[in-house]
Structure 1
Amino acid sequence: MRLTSIAWLWPWLLPAAVVAQSQPTPAPTSLAPLTVEKIMRDPAQWIGTSPSNVSWGEDGKHIYFNWNPEKARRDSLYSATPDGKTIRKVSLREQRALPANNGAYDRKYARKVYEKEGDIYLLELKSNKIRRVTNTAEREFAPAFALQDQLISYTRGGNLFTWDPATGETVQRTDFRKGSKPGNGQSGEKADKFLRDQQLSLFQIIKKKDQDQKDRSRAQKALARLRPKAIYIGGQSADNLQLSPDGRYVTYTLVQEASGDRVAVVPNFVTSSGFTEEIQARTKVGSPQATYQLGLYDIGRDTTFMVGYTGLKGLDEQPAYRKEYQVKSKPQTATDTSKTAAKKPEKAGELRRLAPFGPFWSDNGQRAFLVLRSADNKDRWLVSLDPATQKLTLLDRQRDEAWINGPGIGYEAGNVGWMPDNQRIWFQSEESGYSHLYTVDVANGQKKALTSGKFEIQRAQLSRDKKTWYLTANKTHPGEQHFYSMPANGGPLTQITTLPGASEVTLSPDEKTLAVRYSYSTKPWELYVMPNKAGAKAKQITSSLTSEFKSYAWREPEVISFKARDGADVYARLYRPATPQAQGPAVIFVHGAGYLQNAHKWWSQYFREYMFNNLLVEHGYTVLDIDYRGSSGYGREVRTGIYRYMGGKDLNDHVDGAKLLVEKYGVSPQRIGLYGGSYGGFITLMAMFTQPDVFKAGAALRSVTDWAHYNHDYTDNILNEPYNDSIAYLRSSPIYHAEGLKGALLMCHGMVDTNVHFQDIVRLTQRLIELHKENWELAVYPVENHGFEEPSSWTDEYKRILKLFETNLKPGASGSASGTGQ
């Protein structure tokens, strides 16, 4: 056992490609071998910086992107002409004059309203004229066109305002006030009223003056224009303020923030002050969460309503997992895994909490719909809204006993909108098992799938004339992303991009030209431009890589698939030495984030790990990089395959991958190790603790060791709440399985990790000490957060990982995890 210093490893993703190739990767032609020191240097200095955050100028004459060809400390804004002949850095003065990328267009795409530096601006697109709408110290935000594009609306200080471009008049539309409405009968107010009434009855001069004041107030009120109703919201806040297209209603979301729950503190030891400072991080899973209500202010009737959901189908339906827990008298304990140990489930008929999103108004302003999501993320409803009666009509319900998510769906409203007929809504759903496009008619409830198949629609947008869909999908292969067009009402998909790998497309304002950020598995992202038509050729306009980086012949991993024990197809990247050693060593890399893709054909976000895998191949290792259960890019069944058991199917996929290495690629079953960060570190721990005869060495970086100590938003979806589903937490948390450790374990963690707290690894360390385990090492990194920044930390961490594998997986290995990894 050795306690040294620790760093982080971050999970990065990419989609998977499947070609069952078994040939070894060709040997590199470069002469200089890789070293940890070389590949862990500042990437901006020795690899180059790819263009990012691509956008078009509103006139379509320039493409803007962040770039750093000068190897400066940070990226700068650059512009390029669509022909690629002129690329230049944009000055700070020019940047200040540019419209913001965010904002909203009117229905004719003639004007754009946007926020910049806390003020609102209106851009006339034809003349490129910019009008400043506000100029205040207080921030204005959420600008939109209102009242059939006649007004500009925005939010300031928790209230809704409108501005009339024709007259320049600003009108306050709401008057939300904290606290309770005065005169609600509280004891102090009753006493004040008694004294006031007594004065009026005793003194005629007081009575006369009081009447004069009332008369003046009445006259002033008659002369004054109508003011918005004062709406008292107690300790809540009003969010998502919208004026209906006819100007009759204001809708808003009342948010009651959770209070009283403890927040984890992360100590920061290496500070400029010389004192230990505390970072307020986050709460833990199961903590109280904010609650939401949809309010409606009827301006004409000067009345407010709260929209109710009591009649919503399935609102009282409780999760299926609750049936596992029987109502018994036996109390719950920290280590009890029996089904009788959990909290008594909710009574039948108990309504679940909801979060509303919207309303989304049709272009003609006559219809509106909402997206409603249950707090447990197991239901999503699309409902039409009649604001006059506050009536909701169900249009679509998607229920998932695991949790609702997927491309175009997410955890909020998702990708939704109105079709051009103002009668149908479009949305994405995993109803078929894959995220696809659907429409539903608000008049008759008729639903139609616009796309289908065993692939995902990853991004979707309607053209400005609403006649054409532009889609990004992995239709040709799970490991490729291409850009497609399709008629608005459905039909065949026309593939526009063809280069193998991934294409991230940004349409020009006239939708005739594509700015494409493209990459391949061995080629980092570059910017291309091409006409928006099938068969067109893409022209590369940036060149970002250094000559040193290009001098090495980086290996192209084989993208393979294999059958898991339950028959599922599992995709992976395979790296092999040019001359594989019989019964040689192997390492499995485990990507992080869980819901992420890395077995694909484009440049990996895990570029450091990609380079390290090349280094391992130079040292004679076969490397496998698996898109295990829970990964993105493969549909709902893969996405939710880890529900209620992280370290179940996802770990089995790695065990089955190890079996593949032995049976097909001649790897020794006694020389297999693995490494990964964040979720990858968690899998590494579970592998070393529960499959000790399969994996002989493992490096777990920034690992979750106990899911009850992770955040709510991520964990509650997969494992539910710890006090409601203790079984899921007990079988999924490595700290409960540490007694199974046999092989050599290296753990690395940043001490100022505000995502997976350093406390996680400290608690596991104490557990290993109490279990009398000796073949482990902890490396700590005092200045690193969850994602490392310092090259020195990266270098130290990966030298230790290499030493771990060289010591324990090569012939004659001593089996010790100690050492400095030199």
Structure 2
Amino acid sequence: MRFSSFARLLPWLLPISGAVAQTKPAANLGPLTVEKIMRDPVQWLGTAPSNIAWAEDSKRIYFDWNPEKNRRDSLYSVAPGGGTPRKVSLREQRTLPTTTGEYDQRYTRKVYERDGDIYLLDLKTNKTRRVTNTAERESGPRFALREQLISYLRAGNLYTWDPATGETVQRTDFRKGTKPGDPLTSKEEKFLKAQQLALFQIIRQRDQDRQARERVQKALARLQPKPIYTGLQNVDNIVLSPDGRYVTYRLVLDPTAVKTAVVPSFVTASGYTEDIPARTKVGVAQRTYSLGFYDVGRDTTYAISFRDLPGYNDQPAYLKEYANKSKAGPSADSAKTAGAKKATATDRALAPFGPFWSENGERAFLVIRSADNKDRWIAALDPTTRRLTSLDRQHDDAWINGPGIGYDEGNVGWMPDNRRIWFQSEETGYSHLYTVDATSKQKKALTSGSFEIQEARLSRDQKTWYITANKTAPGEKQFYRLPANGGDLTQLTTLPGASEVTVSPDEKTLAVRYSYTNKPWELYVMENKPGAKARQLTHSTTPEFESYPWREPEIIKIKARDGADVYARLYRPASPTAQGPAVIFVHGAGYLQNAHKWWSQYFREYMFNNLLVDKGYTVLDIDYRGSSGYGRDVRTGIYRYMGGKDLSDHVDGAKLLVEKYGVSPQRIGIYGGSYGGFITLMAMFTQPDVFRAGAGLRSVTDWAHYNHGYTDNILNEPYNDSLAYARSSPIYYAEGLKGALLMCHGMVDTNVHFQDIVRLSQRLIELHKENWELAVYPVENHGFEEPASWTDEYKRILKLFETNLKPVGISQGGSGQ
């Protein structure tokens, strides 16, 4: 997500690696302990290759790696034919083009930015020209004016550079503030000026001289861009039309006087408490956007109107619940309805993206989203009339997101006929590829089915789609190709698990970053054809890691109480004890998938779950409602009620453990971090007879205190939908605590602030609850970094479960020793 999420922010995340060849005898990991599995993963587990990219000539593969176990990854390269990967020297790195940039239509040139300057690479000669060399930063390079020029941004304005002549031309002149001598608007000002002109000859003469000078200056400065005054607004997304006749730009107005939370840091080098500026909270005023249009030929600016878009001013469906109510909430509980008021309808704020011009420069379209993310339009833009024509409207009473859609323009572009637009939409409930004709408005689905298109792009000849999808199973990612106009998906990768594919520039070879449930990511290579064998190029894990038989959990389906199928990972002891203990792990982020067949980003928790199984626990890891990978209905199943279906899925999972797997209903624990911590708190407070012990880590305790970008989509704004916040926030249910609760939180958490857990602690104190404890970590942010912190945290979690979920005298190694 481009907005802050609850995913574990791991700097290693196992896109790093270990040694290529194993020459030393394998060290035996032996019985798992918390101390062993929470060590620095770079040093004992190994790190996997990441950021895969091809050389422009398709002769080498570049990737970040760390077989030497340094503090940071280094750039490596390997030939697709195999061999030993070699480290790329810093000197060589300076000569390599960046992996980002823009190609011309024939893929003969590439323009890119490096260190604030612009470069042009000729792919035929492999020669690079430096376009800019300035102290100011240039960015956003593109091919412009039928690919004759290079455009880029400098200091908020658009420039072009001519490769043939070396001439640089400034194309826009945006200026903050108001235009000097703007026409007078008040009656008083107009009267006074007219009086001065009528009374004084010298005033009349000087005014006539000024007008004459302006006419001469305008005639002499025909080629200079028109000064465009933006007032208090900033400018971004400056786009030059392919023929150079028009410049579009987005005006951004930042809200004023927005209060930002501060996170105090107590353990500092200075010895003084230092404040860390953090984020705002949900419901604060947000940026507003408008789209400007500069007609270069007419030297005139316009504003693009969105009012003709269908449903432009539709109000959210949830407001109906508040109709004729003076305040939100079903009861007189003032705490739960604090600040509630009758929501009123107002004009909706919209955010435009684009325009995106066809390759022949004849057509353009915009993607426009409502600020509440309940509507997205794809609209054709007529540059001569500056009118919009809606081609597709996607509406969702909850919120619009999903693979290839996101929170911005999403995955969009023009088909090679310069007439149809392609995009992704969840119209059927799953993200699929569509085209729509910019003239006839005819829409066609290129893919369909109960699976998601997770990534899609056209081949260089624009005849083939390259697609990543979970067509074979929700917990697998495979790579496919598809004819440009639709047809049958042809599967290219076949290894079970997940394949992340980077196609070589000549499109003959696939670099595959592959992993399986119990095997971290490695780099493979294969021919770009069905049935080709994938060959492994890297070996990243250590002998010590490989000495333990890491489990392959079973993927099961839980039948939820509403009939939905909920996927989960199940870990079982080889010889489970009748009426034995069980633990449910809850992944973070909400919108994240963990019941899959590839190496989890929650690798520490995966190893801890193996440790629990060694100690006789059955472990369940559920992709509850709100998780990714399962389509629109699962994603939005938590709308206006977090702690609803997402929690009941865990209760249904606990029931399955008892009924099918012989677990004692009195010995079930639960743990998780961030969103997982939130679910743990809701479980312990609202389902105290189901969960005997729980560990909530870096937990959200009150959604009214989380950020806007994430929370507003799911719960709307707290002052407009206070009922949603009241029923979704654990702090309102703390009186229900019965079992043993452990809470852990970093004190410099800039995502879920330490204040969250402090407020809940005070609530528990006032409720006279005694069966809880709080462990704080003075130097940790949301994603822990220090092995000592990880170790301390998970020793406490293990002790919690060993003490509360096993009969007296059966507990094994409560400290993790």
TM bucket normalised to smaller: over 0.9
For residues 9 and 320 of structure 1, do their structure 2 counterparts lie closer, same or farther at Cα, with a shift above 3 Å needed? closer
User: How many matched pairs?
Assistant: 791
- Could you tell me how far apart the structure 1 residues matched to 2:530 and 2:294 are? 49
Contact 1:30 1:553 in 2 (8 A): no
Match of 1:83 among 81, 84, 102: 81
Secondary structure at the aligned position of 1:638 is classed as helix
Q: Which has the higher contact order (CA 8 A, sep 6+)?
A: 1
Equivalent residue, structure 2, for 1:92: 90
The C-alpha deviation readout for 1:540-561, integer Å capped at 9, x for no partner, is 0000111111111111111111
- Could you tell me how far apart the structure 2 residues matched to 1:154 and 1:655 are? 55
Equivalent residue, structure 2, for 1:467: 463
Secondary structure at the aligned position of 2:385 is classed as coil
Alignment of 1:342-357 (within 5 A): 342-347=340-345, 350-357=346-353
Contact 2:34 2:816 in 1 (8 A): no
Alignment of 1:102-121 (within 5 A): 102-121=100-119
For residues 341 and 41 of structure 1, do their structure 2 counterparts lie closer, same or farther at Cα, with a shift above 3 Å needed? closer
Q: What is the aligned-residue RMSD (CA, Å)?
A: 2.5
Alignment of 1:432-471 (within 5 A): 432-471=428-467
- Could you tell me how far apart the structure 2 residues matched to 1:340 and 1:218 are? 61
Matched, 1:688 2:684: yes
- Could you tell me how far apart the structure 2 residues matched to 1:190 and 1:122 are? 54
Equivalent residue, structure 2, for 1:629: 625
Alignment of 1:796-815 (within 5 A): 796-812=792-808
Match of 1:308 among 305, 309, 333: 305
Equivalent residue, structure 2, for 1:236: 233
Contact 2:481 2:489 in 1 (8 A): yes
Q: Aligned letter for 2:629?
A: G
Equivalent residue, structure 1, for 2:125: 127
Equivalent residue, structure 1, for 2:15: none
- Could you tell me how far apart the structure 1 residues matched to 2:198 and 2:89 are? 72
Matched, 1:576 2:551: no
Q: Aligned letter for 2:77?
A: S
Alignment of 1:665-704 (within 5 A): 665-704=661-700
CA drift of 1:225 comes to: 5.2
Contact 1:11 1:591 in 2 (8 A): no
Q: Aligned letter for 1:128?
A: N
Contact 2:322 2:328 in 1 (8 A): no
Alignment of 1:281-430 (within 5 A): 281-329=278-326, 335-336=333-334, 342-347=340-345, 350-430=346-426
Equivalent residue, structure 1, for 2:24: none
Match of 2:258 among 256, 261, 286: 261
Alignment of 1:362-761 (within 5 A): 362-761=358-757
For residues 194 and 397 of structure 1, do their structure 2 counterparts lie closer, same or farther at Cα, with a shift above 3 Å needed? closer
The C-alpha deviation readout for 1:255-294, integer Å capped at 9, x for no partner, is 0012211100000001111110001101000000000001
CA drift of 1:98 comes to: 1.1
Match of 1:277 among 274, 284, 301: 274
Equivalent residue, structure 2, for 1:25: none
Secondary structure at the aligned position of 2:450 is classed as coil
Contact 1:119 1:141 in 2 (8 A): yes
- Could you tell me how far apart the structure 1 residues matched to 2:230 and 2:307 are? 22
Contact 1:282 1:711 in 2 (8 A): yes
Q: Aligned letter for 1:540?
A: Q
Secondary structure at the aligned position of 2:792 is classed as helix
- Could you tell me how far apart the structure 1 residues matched to 2:344 and 2:103 are? 46
CA drift of 1:297 comes to: 0.2
- Could you tell me how far apart the structure 2 residues matched to 1:390 and 1:199 are? 44
Contact 2:44 2:544 in 1 (8 A): yes
CA drift of 1:119 comes to: 0.7
Matched, 1:778 2:774: yes
- Could you tell me how far apart the structure 1 residues matched to 2:328 and 2:464 are? 59
- Could you tell me how far apart the structure 2 residues matched to 1:706 and 1:782 are? 22
The C-alpha deviation readout for 1:357-414, integer Å capped at 9, x for no partner, is 1101111110001111011000111110001111111111110001000000000000
Secondary structure at the aligned position of 2:561 is classed as coil
Secondary structure at the aligned position of 1:88 is classed as strand
Contact 1:807 1:813 in 2 (8 A): no
For residues 664 and 196 of structure 1, do their structure 2 counterparts lie closer, same or farther at Cα, with a shift above 3 Å needed? same
Contact 1:705 1:761 in 2 (8 A): yes
Secondary structure at the aligned position of 2:291 is classed as strand
For residues 127 and 327 of structure 1, do their structure 2 counterparts lie closer, same or farther at Cα, with a shift above 3 Å needed? same
CA drift of 1:334 comes to: 9.9
- Could you tell me how far apart the structure 2 residues matched to 1:740 and 1:223 are? 78
For residues 392 and 607 of structure 1, do their structure 2 counterparts lie closer, same or farther at Cα, with a shift above 3 Å needed? same
For residues 50 and 404 of structure 1, do their structure 2 counterparts lie closer, same or farther at Cα, with a shift above 3 Å needed? same
Equivalent residue, structure 2, for 1:69: 67
The C-alpha deviation readout for 1:236-262, integer Å capped at 9, x for no partner, is 011000100111000000000122111
Equivalent residue, structure 2, for 1:21: none
Equivalent residue, structure 2, for 1:48: 46
For residues 292 and 212 of structure 1, do their structure 2 counterparts lie closer, same or farther at Cα, with a shift above 3 Å needed? closer
Q: Aligned letter for 1:541?
A: L
Secondary structure at the aligned position of 2:93 is classed as helix
Equivalent residue, structure 2, for 1:18: none
Contact 2:476 2:596 in 1 (8 A): yes
CA drift of 1:343 comes to: 2.5
- Could you tell me how far apart the structure 1 residues matched to 2:607 and 2:147 are? 53
- Could you tell me how far apart the structure 2 residues matched to 1:658 and 1:395 are? 47
- Could you tell me how far apart the structure 1 residues matched to 2:208 and 2:705 are? 64
For residues 339 and 196 of structure 1, do their structure 2 counterparts lie closer, same or farther at Cα, with a shift above 3 Å needed? closer
- Could you tell me how far apart the structure 2 residues matched to 1:748 and 1:95 are? 42
Q: Aligned letter for 1:255?
A: V
- Could you tell me how far apart the structure 1 residues matched to 2:781 and 2:528 are? 42
Q: Aligned letter for 1:356?
A: P
Q: Aligned letter for 1:257?
A: D
